[in-house]
Amino acid sequence: MSENERRNELGDLKIANEVVGIIAGLAATEVPGVAGMSGGIAGGIAEMLGHRNLSKGVKVDVGAHECVVDLFVIIEYGYSIPEVARQIQENVKRAIEVMTGLDVMEVNLHVLGVHFPQDKKGEEEQAPAARGK
């Protein structure tokens, strides 16, 4: 496990890559229009991950004082992908810099899919039957 290490007058500070990944994942999922993070493509299918795996769908390269972040996301249908991407990049950069003191050099976004709302056809079919009773 690679760790970011810094020394000050009181001692060493070590921030694990996984910590930066969790911060990035949480900051990304806070943005409206993000359906979830993707753990990658296995057999051509992107697996959406919930809040339990916030570092999944995030690749972090941490140096001595800087980092580069790659995020793999699923966007909600109906949102502007460029606008959501810009908001994700800003939110992730701000969160990492504030919480860790690292300079974020890049936040690269990989949109792996679009999430469509659930079909409400099943609910519509049940409604007429309920009215007839």
Model's pTM, two decimal places? 0.76
pLDDT at res. 10: 82
The mean pLDDT value for 39-60 works out to 59
Residue 43 has pLDDT above 50, yes or no: no
The string of pLDDT tens digits covering residues 50-61 is 445 667 899 999
Q: Please answer whether residues 66 and 104 qualify as being in contact, where contact means their C-beta atoms are separated by less than 8 angstroms.
A: yes
- pLDDT tens digits along 74-111: 999 999 999 999 999 999 999 999 999 999 999 999 99
Q: Are 33 and 77 in contact (CB under 8 A)?
A: no
Identity of the residue numbered 34: V
Domains and CATH numbers, the chain: 3-132 (3.30.70.1350)
Among residues 99, 35, 110, which one has the least CA distance to residue 67?
A: 99
Report d(CA 1, CA 104) in Å as an integer.
20
Q: Report whether 65 contacts 20 (CB < 8 A).
A: no
Q: Hey, which bits of the chain come out as E strands?
A: 3-8, 11-16, 34-42, 45-49, 58-62, 66-76, 103-115
| pLDDT score recorded for residue 64 | 83
- If one compares 11 and 24, the residue with the highest pLDDT of the two is 24
